[in-house]
């Protein structure tokens, strides 16, 4: 049973190419994992910021805050009872 030198060369070349492919795939896997971790951290940061913004919005939309903003920024006042006009059908 003799092995031809060309067969050995082809098998050796296939082994080398396969090894390079494995190394490249592992490298890409590591790069993508690092990117995944960074995006996960960014998502967590944005979730915290979203929660803070929702809390701020709920604080700013309370009845007292709206009334204070209407008085200070828009100059609105409560009408006096004698200025009410009741319209009946």
Q: How confident is the model at residue 1 (pLDDT cuts 50, 70, 90)?
A: low
More confident residue, 4 or 41: 41
pLDDT, average across residues 71-82: 90
Contact yes or no for 77/71 (Cβ under 8 A): yes
Contact yes or no for 76/70 (Cβ under 8 A): yes
Q: What confidence tens digit (pLDDT) does each residue in 43-76 have?
A: 999 999 999 999 999 888 888 888 888 899 999 9
pTM: 0.58
Domain borders along the chain are 5-76
Q: What confidence tens digit (pLDDT) does each residue in 15-36 have?
A: 999 999 999 999 999 999 999 9
Rounded Cα distance, 51 and 89, in Å: 48
């Amino acid at each position: 049973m003799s092995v031809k030198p060309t067969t050995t060369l082809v098998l050796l070349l296939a082994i080398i190419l396969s090894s390079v492919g494995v190394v490249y795939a592992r490298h890409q896997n590591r790069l993508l994992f690092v990117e995944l971790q960074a995006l996960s951290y960014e998502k967590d940061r944005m979730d915290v910021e979203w929660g803070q913004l929702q809390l701020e919005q709920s604080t700013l939309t309370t009845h007292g805050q709206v009334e204070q903003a209407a008085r200070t920024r828009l100059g609105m006042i409560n009408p006096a009872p004698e200025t009410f006009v009741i319209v009946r059908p």
